[in-house]
Amino acid sequence: MNAQFVARVTTWIDGDPDAQDRATLTTLLEEGNEDELHRRFDSPLTFGTAGLRGPEMAGPAGMNRYTVRRATQGVVGWMNELGVDSSRGVVVGRDARHGSEAFNDEVVAVLLGAGVRVFEMPEPLPTPLLAYCVKALGAAAGIMITASHNPPQDNGFKLYAGDGAQIVPPHDQAVERLAAAATSPRLADRSSELHSVVAPQVLGEYQRHFVERFGVPFGSVLRVTYTPLHGVGGVSLMDLLAAAGFGAVTPVATQFVPDADFPTLAFPNPEEPGALDHAIATAERSSSTLVIANDPDADRLGAAVRGPDGWRVLRGDEIGWLLASELLGDLNATAGVLATSIVSSTMLKKMAQDAGVRFVETLTGFKWIARAGGDDGLRFGYEEALGYAVDPVVADKDGLSAALALCHLAHHLAQQGQTLLDRLDEIESRFGVHAVAQLSLRCDGPDAMSVIAASLERLRATPPTHLGGIAVSDVIDLESGWHGLAPTEGLVLELGERGRVVVRPSGTEPKLKAYVEVLGDSGPDESLVEQRARAQAQLSAASEELSERLKF
């Protein structure tokens, strides 16, 4: 084994605060297990979507106490470089995943030891509540230990800036640079005068704000089924809905209590096929007409609606259109901004223009969407991956307030004898059929990222001339920038006035993703059903052709 590599491993072992992780790496070194050591050391975790995310394991390629310790030191150094007043404090929170409590403890100890004030969340709570507290407390930053909707073996470290939104470049590179240079930190415990727990009144203000905004004063008879998918959203959302007047909410008992193993799910993500099966079965028994679901850290919202032909799981874009239709009535040209990202449907732009409200399109991720409003403020933002921001008091996607807003809309539609599906019909009748789909190609193994990059490069070198019978009118390399956006990895295939395709690597998992949108091209006498069927057929054909080109 290369002596320089052995020295790297030994240096890491010497600094690792976790006895079990030290023992694991020492054993691998003594056994000469070079392949496994290279897996753990050759590709260290890097700051991707506003932080770190990866499998829990010893070594720099994994989430572990040492990785978290160094990342926290990077945050301290970053705040010092910016000249941020540490007395403003850092809000620290966690979800209920394996390792989250120990990682949370590590963050608190490093911050206190560095003389930074800490506001610690009182228990495992949803990520949006931490984002809210950063703004509400005027904190300098926020750190959330969570892997959101990733598989059970993963965990993560999410960093928020003082505006309550996820950090953006170049701040992520600065934190990473300073974390890599970290030495042994001074640690302190919770007896420090710099430590405090976020008061119940602060979290209570969150609830009061959204009850005032989306509550039903005399109560609602809307029957709803809710699942937190074994995550931390359960109690928070049930309490919020009850306070807002929604008393006929049935929780999914088998998925309500936080469980880091996510035993009833293949993947703890409401986007995944079958993720809402338990909820729909519960909804059948409870005669619910609406199913709502949060991902494990409750920053995303999934939904299904009972229709004449059974249950229909709503796509992320469709929930975005519905929420926009609910919120646009409160807005005008001077009341803020609507925003979505380049991987979402183009429908929101049309809705905003029709209402005379400013619209902004951003790069992928809520770190961009949350700041799209600038000084005018973001009044509504969404991304097709089930992320929604319905109120500027939370500068991030928030599955709790979005769930309440959707229930509020469903309640008022029910009073008029309508459903959410009726509202979708109204939207597409007015603005045209927008058929959307997402392809997600996962690649496992140590060479996953290079395999994904090679697939994208093949598409860049030989793009298709047609997809689903629709001509590709233009190919845009996002690395060169587009519409004033910062360069990023990915391609856009324009389909003229009939839609577009965006292909990009995932920022959080080893996946290549494609977002396909086909706009309806109706004949003069076609019904909405016929328009949708034709657009869906072209969407399916385009998706199949693209999938064949991208396959690994």
Give 50-109 pLDDT, tens digit per residue: 799 999 999 999 999 999 999 999 999 999 999 999 999 999 999 999 999 999 999 999
| The Cα angle at residue 378 between residues 376 and 384, in degrees rounded to 5 | 150
pLDDT of 335: 67
Q: How far, in Å, are 93, 169, 361, 364 from residue 487 at the CA level?
A: 32, 11, 14, 12
Query: Which of 237, 232, 262 has its CA nearest to residue 250?
Result: 237
Burial class of residue 198, CB neighbours in 10 A (0-12, 13-18, 19+) = buried
pLDDT of 374: 85
Kindly give the residue spans of alpha helices, DSSP state H, lying in 386-464.
399-415, 420-431, 448-461
Q: Domain extents for the chain? A: 1-38, 43-198, 204-430, 433-550
Q: What's the whole-number mean pLDDT along residues 393-412?
A: 98
Query: Which of 50, 143, 71 has its CA nearest to residue 364?
Result: 50
- Give the whole-number percent of the chain exceeding pLDDT 70: 98
Query: Which of 116, 72, 126 has its CA nearest to residue 96?
Result: 126
Between 3.10.180.10, 3.30.310.50, 3.10.20.30, 3.30.70.270, what CATH number should domain 433-550 receive? 3.30.310.50
Which run of H or of E encompasses 516?
strand 511-519
Q: How far, in Å, are 133, 487, 508 from residue 203 at the CA level?
A: 8, 38, 29
Structure tokens given for 359? 């619209």
How do residues 108-132 score in pLDDT, each as one tens digit? 999 999 999 999 999 999 999 999 9
Q: State whether CATH 3.40.120.10 applies to domain 204-430.
A: yes
Q: Which residues are catalytic?
A: 148
- Spatial contact of 110 and 76, defined as CB atoms under 8 Å apart: yes
The pLDDT confidence band at residue 380, using thresholds 50, 70 and 90, is very high
pLDDT of 299: 98
Q: What's the whole-number mean pLDDT along residues 506-527?
A: 85
Q: What's the whole-number mean pLDDT along residues 431-445?
A: 91
The pLDDT confidence band at residue 375, using thresholds 50, 70 and 90, is confident
The pLDDT confidence band at residue 376, using thresholds 50, 70 and 90, is confident
Q: Which fold has domain 43-198?
A: Alpha-D-Glucose-1,6-Bisphosphate; Chain A, domain 3 (3.40.120)
Q: What's the whole-number mean pLDDT along residues 270-294?
A: 97
Q: What's the whole-number mean pLDDT along residues 451-469?
A: 94
Q: How far, in Å, are 52, 279, 490, 508 from residue 49 at the CA level?
A: 7, 29, 16, 6
Structure tokens given for 200? 């119940």
pLDDT of 305 above 80: yes
pLDDT of 199 above 90: yes
b/e string for 351-387 if b means 16 or more Cβ within 10 A? bbeebebbbbbbbbbbbbbbbbbeeeebbbbbbbbbb
Which run of H or of E encompasses 302?
strand 301-307
pLDDT of 289: 98
Query: Which of 303, 295, 336 has its CA nearest to residue 321?
Result: 303
The pLDDT confidence band at residue 483, using thresholds 50, 70 and 90, is confident
Mean pLDDT of the chain: 95
pLDDT of 332: 56
The pLDDT confidence band at residue 449, using thresholds 50, 70 and 90, is confident
- Close Cβ partners of 408 (under 8 Å, ≥ 6 residues apart): 214, 215, 216, 244, 326
pLDDT of 1: 83
* Domains 43-198 and 433-550 agree in fold: no
pLDDT of 336: 78
Tell me the C-alpha distance between 421 and 431, whole Å.
Answer: 15
